[in-house]
């Protein structure tokens, strides 16, 4: 067992991790998966105990299945005994819409296999519904979901917020037993994570209000169980506090004793790695030459010959487009395709399937593939230029050898001298498992204002009650009543000179101390919720309204009807530019401009900066005695 905070004793024997599962489920697992991995072996007993659980394990070690399989087994048992209700039992929260669709595919397969196995054994198998609710979900699918709630709901933080701000949709959460937050490190250190933390408290309150079936007899918590998953996170204690939140505020109790207990299953950060740094800069004078990218292409071509499938990470969308086009042009074959968030969902899914099937040899990807979307077995991962964070490099290189016992093969390619130093520092951090610390932002008042409007729009309530709810979320556990009241005053249209001209979003009756909101505030909370900024993009369509992707507004402003550009390794001629979209038709063979997108470059993390500084000091004075002094 890995490290753990205060919590219940583990009652399931580690020697028989599948003993608590239905025999047919255990048999399927042994035949389809094999022996349980470390996060499964150590995680199942803790999850089965009902405790909030944080699992840290490298990419490809089965931690997602560890979180899902126990609840699937419980759904099977409940369905066989009493039948499954028209309510959601498990909520899976993903930071990416694409990851949500991927998880559904990986759930449908095991469920179909289990259904066949139960049928062959003459055993009944309940109808377990799996639903995805993201910004891509059609209105007809949303309506079906309201009529027949999925037992397993896969969603994003923003869509969960919208569901809880809908009078009809939020009733599906009455019986939620567990919430899985995947890639929790990608959320905890941002305002998006602060928004989700408070949304989780809203979910818990909804479950308590409806009196759903929460924990079995002897369970250790009264609300839905929270399960956090990540391959790169540190310090674990901080992430655990973020995951669990706090008990009801009690000013007599020290702050550090108010945190809900979370059990930590620490299976380590790093799989077996094989990392090479290959620089195309043979001589110092080559650094300023114009041939560096030709040399990068030569290196990529040589590497692709030794790999059936190769994933190449770059740091922005324009670079993915340019490098894929250059590799194809110089090799005179369709060797690579770009993959990034400005391609349509349908196009991304085609590329994922092609790489998984082995029909596409090289995929030029941005951070859109950094998280755990299933693209099958990748032989080699290449990072072109520094990703600026050790944790990002670990996530990306970890996509190679995406199985438990496989070695993750990675190649890092710098393109200029300073880049060499950063990449060497990152390689050292990866081998040491020294990832960046996650710092959870505290008291984000803009996020608080959004959630106050959303909560008040659902029902009137005393301000003291709302303040207590907010303080149960870890990012707001130190919020003062004065700061909270200031936010309320601002939302009522007050607040002195800064807030005098604001339209009231809520009402605060000081005599009864009750907060309410007009009907229009609910629509405002739904349409303006979340912390992901508007990017200023134009959608790209064919004349038949087939969506191809997105272009940066600045690129569109510099373009004219008749211009040709490249997107997704294809060339397109502009037919029409409207206020929010561009209509195009194919223009094969025509000279094309490369698109660009603004605001994509990341800053170097402080931890990486310290490693870079140490390398530079060592290079300036390699005497160990001087370095120690």
| pLDDT tens digits, 220-278 | 446 899 999 988 778 899 999 999 999 876 655 666 668 999 999 998 766 788 999 99
pLDDT of residue 22: 94
**Alpha-carbon distance 392 to 398, whole Å?**
10
Top-confidence residue, 569 or 210: 569
Give pLDDT tens digits for 591-607: 999 999 887 778 888 99
Q: What is the pLDDT of residue 13?
A: 42
E strands, 389-524, in order: 408-413, 461-462, 507-509, 514-516
Confidence class for position 135, pLDDT limits 50, 70, 90: confident
585 pLDDT higher than 50:
yes
In this structure, of 349-353, 474-478, 539-543, the range with the lowest mean pLDDT score is: 349-353
* Average pLDDT across the chain, whole number: 86
**What is the value of pTM for the model shown?**
0.86
pLDDT at 1: 31
- Average the pLDDT over 367-384 and give the result: 79
Compute CA distances 494 → 448, 461, 464, 505, whole Å.
17, 20, 20, 11
Residue 15 has what pLDDT? 47
> 101 pLDDT band (50/70/90 cuts)?
low
- The length of the chain is 629
Predicted confidence (pLDDT) per residue in 277-328, tens digit: 998 876 544 444 457 888 899 999 999 988 889 999 999 999 999 999 999 9
pLDDT score at 384: 96
For the segment 379-395, the average pLDDT, to the nearest whole number, is 92
Q: What angle do CA 327, 329, 334 make, to 5 degrees?
A: 75
| Closest alpha carbon to 178 in 258, 74, 71 | 71
User: 3-class SS at 539?
Assistant: strand
Query: 3-state SS of 25-45?
Result: HHHHHHHHCCCCCHHHHHHHH
Confidence at residue 211, expressed as pLDDT on a 0 to 100 scale: 64
């Amino acid at each position: 067992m890995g490290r753990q905070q205060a919590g219940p004793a583990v009652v399931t024997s580690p020697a028989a991790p599948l003993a608590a599962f239905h025999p047919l489920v255990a048999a399927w697992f042994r035949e389809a998966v094999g022996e349980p991995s470390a996060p499964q072996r150590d995680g199942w007993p803790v999850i089965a105990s009902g405790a909030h659980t944080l699992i840290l394990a490298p990419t490809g070690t089965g931690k997602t299945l560890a979180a899902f399989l126990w609840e699937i087994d419980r759904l099977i048992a409940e369905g066989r005994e009493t039948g499954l209700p028209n309510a959601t039992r498990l909520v899976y929260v993903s930071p990416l819409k694409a990851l949500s669709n991927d998880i559904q595919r990986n759930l449908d397969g095991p469920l179909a296999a289990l259904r066949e196995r139960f049928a062959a054994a003459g055993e009944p198998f309940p109808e377990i519904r799996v639903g995805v609710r993201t910004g891509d979900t059609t209105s007809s699918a949303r309506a079906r979901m309201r009529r027949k709630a999925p037992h397993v709901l896969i969603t994003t933080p923003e869509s969960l917020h919208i569901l809880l701000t809908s009078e009809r949709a939020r009733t599906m959460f009455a019986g939620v037993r567990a919430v899985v937050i995947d890639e929790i490190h990608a959320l905890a250190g941002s305002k998006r994570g602060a928004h989700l933390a408070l949304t989780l408290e809203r979910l818990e309150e909804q479950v308590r209000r409806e009196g759903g079936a929460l924990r079995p007899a002897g369970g250790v918590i009264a609300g839905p169980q929270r399960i956090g998953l990540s391959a790169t996170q540190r310090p674990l204690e901080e992430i655990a506090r973020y995951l669990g939140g706090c008990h009801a505020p009690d000013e007599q109790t020290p702050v550090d004793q108010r945190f809900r207990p979370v059990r930590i299953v620490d299976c380590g950060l790093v799989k077996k790695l094989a990392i090479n740094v290959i620089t195309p800069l043979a001589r110092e004078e080559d650094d300023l030459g114009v041939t560096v990218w030709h040399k990068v292409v030569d290196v990529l071509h040589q590497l692709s010959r030794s790999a059936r499938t190769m994933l190449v990470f770059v740091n922005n969308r324009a670079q993915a487009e340019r490098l894929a086009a250059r590799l194809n042009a110089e090799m005179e074959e369709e060797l690579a395709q770009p993959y990034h968030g400005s391609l349509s969902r349908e196009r991304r899914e085609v590329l994922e399937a092609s790489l998984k099937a082995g029909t596409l040899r090289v995929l030029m990807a941005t951070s859109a593939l950094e998280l755990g979307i299933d693209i099958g077995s990748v032989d080699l991962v290449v990072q072109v230029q520094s990703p600026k964070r050790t944790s990002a490099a670990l996530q990306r290189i970890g996509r190679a050898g995406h199985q438990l016992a496989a070695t993750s093969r990675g190649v890092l390619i710098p393109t200029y001298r300073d880049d060499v130093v950063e990449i060497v520092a990152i390689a050292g951090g990866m081998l040491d498992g020294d990832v960046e610390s996650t710092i959870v932002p505290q008291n984000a008042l803009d996020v608080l204002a959004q959630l106050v409007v959303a909560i008040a729009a659902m029902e009137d309530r005393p301000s003291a009650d709302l303040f207590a709810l907010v303080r149960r979320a870890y990012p707001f556990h130190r919020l003062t009543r004065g700061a909270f009241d200031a936010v309320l005053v601002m939302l009522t249209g007050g607040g002195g000179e800064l807030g005098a001209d604001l339209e009231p979003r809520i009402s605060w009756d000081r005599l009864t101390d009750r907060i309410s909101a007009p009907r229009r505030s609910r629509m405002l909370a739904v349409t303006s919720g979340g912390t992901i900024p508007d990017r200023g993009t134009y959608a790209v369509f064919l004349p038949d309204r087939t969506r191809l992707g997105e272009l940066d507004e600045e690129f569109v402003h510099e373009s004219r009807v008749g211009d040709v550009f490249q997107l997704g390794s294809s060339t397109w001629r502009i037919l029409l530019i409207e206020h929010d979209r561009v209509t195009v038709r194919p223009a094969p063979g025509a000279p094309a401009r490369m698109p660009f997108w603004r605001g994509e470059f990341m800053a170097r993390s402080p931890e990486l900066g310290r490693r870079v500084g140490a390398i530079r000091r060592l290079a300036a004075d390699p005497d160990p005695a001087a370095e120690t002094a």
